Amino acid sequence: MKINENTLLEGQRVVLVPYNAEHVPRYHEWMKSPELQQLTASEPLTLEQEYDMQRSWREDHDKCTFIILDKQQWTDPSVDEETCMVGDVNIFLTDSTDPSLAELEIMIAEESYRGKGIGKEVSRMMMCYGVNKLGIRRFQAKIGLDNHTSISMFKKLLFQEVSQCQVFREVTLELTVDESVRKKLQEEVEMKERDYRQTCSSRHELPAQKEQNYSQVS
């Protein structure tokens, strides 16, 4: 999706940025992990295929993805974006006849960042974005039956089980966004939307340059 190609979402502990080619090498390294392949039901890809996938996430009208960055690291301009990467979060429009229905997927790839509330924070941010910018009214999550952590997280986010498929060993959870859910999300989520390119370039401005710009303005 092109809609978020210049969007940065700043949360409390994370920053979400569009998935760009510069993120692909680290992403590719993550997806070599058999554990992550299994938990996310993904097939291993070559680096070339991963670049194709990144382009398709950017171009296809039915997919919206952000890379999750550690905000604390990102605040230090000497740390490059690739180093700040923690995982990714996606919205996938699964029904061409119903653009208000979306599948929500999240991966905290860096193990040391799991279990600290980041999964919940990012999921809520993405749901807010999906509701406000994409008009999503119903979210689904398809999770492996053995992935108790993920099932537990989506239940905490008020998703309810709607079906189980024993053949694929998968459970489907759903959340309909009515007025009370929408209000709760708005209350819970602290998020600022920024211009991605502008924020990136100001992040890399040298302190002296910033001072100069400031004095020019004042």
Ligand X SMILES: CC(C)(COP(=O)(O)OP(=O)(O)OC[C@H]1O[C@@H](n2cnc3c(N)ncnc32)[C@H](O)[C@@H]1OP(=O)(O)O)[C@@H](O)C(=O)NCCC(=O)NCCS
Using alpha carbons only, give the angle 147, 85, 54 rounded to the nearest 5 degrees: 80
Q: Phi and psi of 9, rounded to 5°? A: -115, 120
Q: In this complex, which beta carbon is closest to ligand X, that of residue 147 or of residue 196? A: 147
- The contact set with ligand X (CB under 6 A) reads 39-40, 106-108, 114-120, 143, 147-150, 152-153, 156
Q: In this complex, which beta carbon is closest to ligand X, that of residue 40 or of residue 65? A: 40
Closest distance of CB 14 from ligand X, Å: 10
Closest distance of CB 218 from ligand X, Å: 42
Q: In this complex, which beta carbon is closest to ligand X, that of residue 39 or of residue 79? A: 39
Q: In this complex, which beta carbon is closest to ligand X, that of residue 102 or of residue 196? A: 102
Name the residue whose CB lies closest to ligand X: 119
Closest distance of CB 136 from ligand X, Å: 18
Closest distance of CB 170 from ligand X, Å: 9
Closest distance of CB 113 from ligand X, Å: 7
Q: In this complex, which beta carbon is closest to ligand X, that of residue 152 or of residue 198? A: 152
